[in-house]
Structure 1
Amino acid sequence: MSIRHFFSKPLVVLGIAVLIFIAFHIFRPQTETIQLREKVWRVEVREVHHRTLSPAVLLYARVESSRTARMHSALNADVTEIAVREGDRITSNQTLVRLDDRDSRLELRLQEAMLREIKAEIQTENQRYKKDKLNLQHEKNRRHLSRQALDRLKRLSKKNFASQVRLDEARDTLEANTLAVHDRQFSLDNYEHRTAKLDARLAQSESERDIAALNLERCHITAPFDGRVTEVFVAPGMRMQPGEPLLEIYDTEGLELRARIPHSYLPSVRAALREAYAMQATATVDDVAIRATLVRLSAEIPENYGSIDGFFQVSRGAEVLEPGRRLNLNLSLRSQEQVISVPFDAIHGTDRLYKLEEGRMRQVTVSRVGELNGEVLIRSTDLMEGDFIILTPLPNAMDGLKVTAMY
């Protein structure tokens, strides 16, 4: 049998193929199994120590003045002098603006003359009253004498010793004297009414005189307090109408700092205000130390804001502050117990950090209570004394990640 004939049989070919497959399987190269190892991240840690600390909060404040005055003209008058310029510092009662006072002086002289006239009328009325009282007694005496004369003539007339003409004349005299008594009495009875009318005219005249004097004073505009000039609206020669603005000033003693306080700190802040605890805040402006005290909170919270406005009274450094200036303000809160100080990088989001537990990261929820010396103060019931907080801000930080501490 030839070799060619032998290999042409199907069973032989199949057997050879099986033998080749078995040979390849037996003599194939052996591959080693690769075992994946979990990566261990090296992290910096800090041991937990609960302490009593006074936290601080960084606020962004704006300088405002609670006493800003816009001075207006009260008269129709021309501006004759502008004694200050924008930015000038002023003192109380310092001259700011002068208006033409000639019309006001003439009006004051007129009102004073009218007042003197009314006072003279009152004096005349008082003298008249005294005279009427004296004359009334004389009129009564004359009436009494006239009545006696009439009675005598009546007796004589009955005896035909007096004529009818003399009797009629006596009656006329008595009537005239009686009328004089009544007129004098009427004048005395109306004395109080006349003096009341004169007193009313006197009061009116005095008021008009005082208004004229006040208008004269208003020609000389002075500063109501120590402060600074923020804006001047007029120039010499301008004709002013009542109510038109002259200039604007603010009181340097009334400067306040307005800053938004986050809601998370409001319980502590409100408790301090209720207990009259002075919460101090500090800042630095132009190398000058600023000190202020929180005095009140705003009465409303703006919509969609997670904060409320607090107002700080400046007690030091007000001379370098101007309304509108913005500054960083450090508010010192009341001492807090059982708080932990950690770097800002250790906080993930707003209220999470990780602690080291059995070589792995464990997520812990915390609450912020403030800041101190460039670190954030936190409190959490899940952090015990002696625990280790992970400080390294890993980008892939998650619960259960394997780490090793760098002490």
Structure 2
Amino acid sequence: MSNSRMDTMTRIVRWSLPVLVLSAGIGGAFLMVSNPASSLADPDAPTPDPLADAATVTTVSPLAGPHAPQLQLYARYQSRRSIEITSPITTEVDSVPVRVGDRVEAGQVLVRLDGMELQRQVNQLEARRQDLLARQALEAKQHEADQQAVAVERNLLDIARRSVERLRNLAQRNLSSASDLEAAERTYQNQLLALQQRELAIARYENVQQQLQAQLAELDSQLDQARATLDDATVTAPFAGRVSDVQAETGGRVSTGAPLLRLIDDRETELLAWAAAPALDRVADLTRLDGYLDGPDGSVPVTLNGYDPAADGGSLQLYFKPADTGSGLVLNRYYRLWLDLPRVSAWAVPDASVYSNAFVYRLDDNRLRRIPVQVMGERYQDGRLWRLVQGDLSADDALLATRLKDAAQGLAVKVAQP
């Protein structure tokens, strides 16, 4: 074979080989497109999940009623009897034998004040009283002497009158001088004046005694008050309780009416809460309400112990009594209180199930369906907040119990496995 023929064959082979490879590739691709491989043919191939990207949620069935709606309040635990003890005088504080938080019994000393000034006042009033008693005794003796002397005064007046008459008879016969008659008449007038003064003194004795007795009664009242104030300088507890807010300091000076300390009766306690009057419009008898509060040691049952019947700015003042006074409640602190209202026919659903206070979602074939509801109230039970609603629900419904931000009609979801 010649060299030219060999070159021609080499060039043909060189160009035909890529064409054959390309043709084989195109044919194979055509076969794959025209006959795609079925996944059913491969038992090990994964099955696609249409809910793969759906949110996982939990469901709950509504609880049939009737249920008692609850009104959430915030109640202040306080003492029914509390007193602020003030200083009866302006003086210095000798001692304060109690501290904040101490329990005291009735009559126990709380504060001792300096009573020297009060003692001086008592001494002055007692001296004035002794003076009045001495004046009363002196007036009594003078009255007795006047009664004894009035008879003598009358006799002396009779003698003076007879002397004047005798001298007049003698003067008519020129047997007596005019000067002797004038002297007798002067003696008679003086004796008459003395008798009148004596009789006036006897007549005014009762009035003088009444005046002195009135002054003595007024002085006795002042003295009793001064003695009571002196006794008050030793401040004692008016009732058994606990000391609160001590302001008096040993050695300090206090003025009359200045607060010394506060005493509260921690055995006579109550809970005070304010409620909106419209929230209780459906309650015919408030005295039949009860509930419970969240105490530090758990739930504490409470009963309505009284209320202010006059609404103040649309609010009612309610007074509750805890069933257990040893429940660990702290005075002057606020606690959340749940007040049970009259029962209503409604469904109880978790708070997370209610959207916009107007509807819930029911799961139908892993799709959300919006159900309109009317909220009738709420109830806190078993550590959860339940909403009481009325609507087209049944006990077999599976309601959405997971709070979703993007919950909407027809949204696909999947239920978490128990």
TM-score (ref. length: structure 2): 0.69
The verdict on how the C-alpha distance between 1:363 and 1:401 changes in structure 2, with shifts beyond 3 A counting, is: farther
- Residue 176 in 1 paired to residue 180 in 2? no
In structure 2, distance between residues paired with 1:260 and 1:194: 64
Q: How many angstroms does 1:179 deviate by?
A: 0.5
Change beyond 3 A, Cα 1:268–1:351: farther
Match of 2:256 among 226, 242, 251: 242
Amino acid at match of 1:284: G
2:13 paired residue number: none
The answer as to whether partners of 1:50 and 1:385 remain within 8 angstroms in 2 is no
For residue 366 of structure 1, give the secondary structure of its aligned residue in structure 2: strand
Shift of 1:221: 0.8
Deviation at 1:388, TM superposition (A): 4.5
Return the match for 1:364 from 351, 358, 373: 373
**Which residue of the partner structure matches residue 113 of structure 2?**
99
The equivalent position to 1:279 in structure 2, one of 276, 290, 297, is 290
Matched, 1:209 2:215: no
Corresponding residue to 1:376 among 386, 391, 395: 386
Q: 2:342 aligns to what?
A: 335
Amino acid at match of 1:293: L
Distance 1:299 1:253 in 2: 29
Could you tell me how far 1:71 is from its partner in structure 2?
2.8
The one-letter code of the counterpart of 1:279 is D
For residue 195 of structure 1, report the CA deviation from its aligned partner. Answer: 3.9
Cα deviation, residue 379, structure 1 = 5.0
Q: Does 1:75 align with 2:80?
A: no
Contact 1:284-1:290 at 8 Å conserved across structures? no
The offset of 1:40, in angstroms, is 12
Compare 284-293 and 167-176 and name the one that shifted more: 284-293
1:295 aligned partner, one-letter code: G
Q: Does 1:46 align with 2:56?
A: no
* Cα displacement (A) at 1:177: 1.6
Alignment-derived partner of residue 89 in structure 1:
103
Structure 2: how far apart are the matches of 1:237 and 1:394? 65
**What TM-score, normalized by structure 1, do the two folds share?**
0.70
Q: Which structure 2 residues correspond to residues 7-406 of structure 1 after superposition, within 5 A?
A: 44=59, 46=61, 49-51=64-66, 53-65=67-79, 67-159=81-173, 164=178, 166-191=180-205, 194-253=208-267, 255-261=269-275, 265-268=279-282, 271-273=284-286, 276-277=287-288, 279-286=290-297, 289=300, 291=302, 293-296=304-307, 300=312, 310-314=318-322, 316-317=324-325, 320-331=328-339, 333-354=340-361, 360-368=369-377, 370-373=379-382, 374=384, 376=386, 378=388, 380=390, 382-383=391-392, 388=397, 390-393=399-402, 395=404, 396-398=406-408
Q: Is the 8 A contact 1:231 1:248 kept in 2?
A: yes
CA contact (8 A) 2:354 2:360 kept: yes
Alpha-carbon distance change, 314 to 191 in structure 1, aligned in 2, over 3 angstroms: farther
SS at match of 2:264: strand
The 3-state SS of whatever aligns with 1:252 is coil
Distance 1:287-1:135 versus aligned 2 partners, 3 A rule: farther
Identity rate of aligned residues, in percent?
26
TM-aligned CA deviation for residue 95 of structure 1: 0.7
Range with bigger deviation, 38-47 or 312-321: 38-47
Moved more, 286-295 or 218-227: 286-295
Gap runs ≥5 in structure 1 = 1-27, 31-36
CA deviation after TM superposition for structure 1 residue 328, in Å: 3.4
TM-aligned CA deviation for residue 87 of structure 1: 1.2
Q: Is the 8 A contact 1:281 1:294 kept in 2?
A: no
How far apart are 1:278 and its partner, in Å?
5.2
Q: 1:47 to 1:110 in 2, by over 3 A?
A: closer
Spell out structure 1 runs of 4+ moving beyond 6 A.
37-43, 355-359, 384-387, 400-406
CA distance, structure 2, for counterparts of residue 190 and residue 225 of structure 1: 52
By how many angstroms is 1:85 displaced?
1.3
Aligned-residue offset at 1:130 = 4.5
CA pair 176-364 structure 1, distance change in 2 beyond 3 A: same
Q: Does the aligned pair in 2 maintain the 1:278–1:294 contact within 8 Å?
A: no
Listed as ranges, the gaps of 5+ residues in structure 2 are 1-32, 36-49
User: For the structure 1 residues 215 and 392, does the alpha-carbon distance in structure 2 shift closer, same or farther, using more than 3 Å as the test?
Assistant: closer
Amino acid at match of 1:266: L
Residues 314 and 181 from structure 1, CA distance in 2 versus in 1: closer, same or farther, beyond 3 angstroms? Answer: farther
Change beyond 3 A, Cα 1:187–1:387: farther
CA distance in 1, matches of 2:298, 2:65: 35
Q: Which protein has the larger Cα radius of gyration, Structure 1 or Structure 2?
A: 2
Task: Give the AA of the match of 1:344.
Answer: D
Indicate conservation of the 8 Å contact 1:355/1:364, yes or no.
no
Structure 1 pair 192–343 and aligned structure 2 pair: CA distance change class (3 A)? same
Distance across 1 between alignment mates of 2:207 and 2:297: 72
Residues 386, 252 of structure 1: alpha-carbon distance in 2 compared, 3 angstrom cutoff: closer
Quote the Cα distance in structure 1 between the aligned partners of 2:254 and 2:57.
78
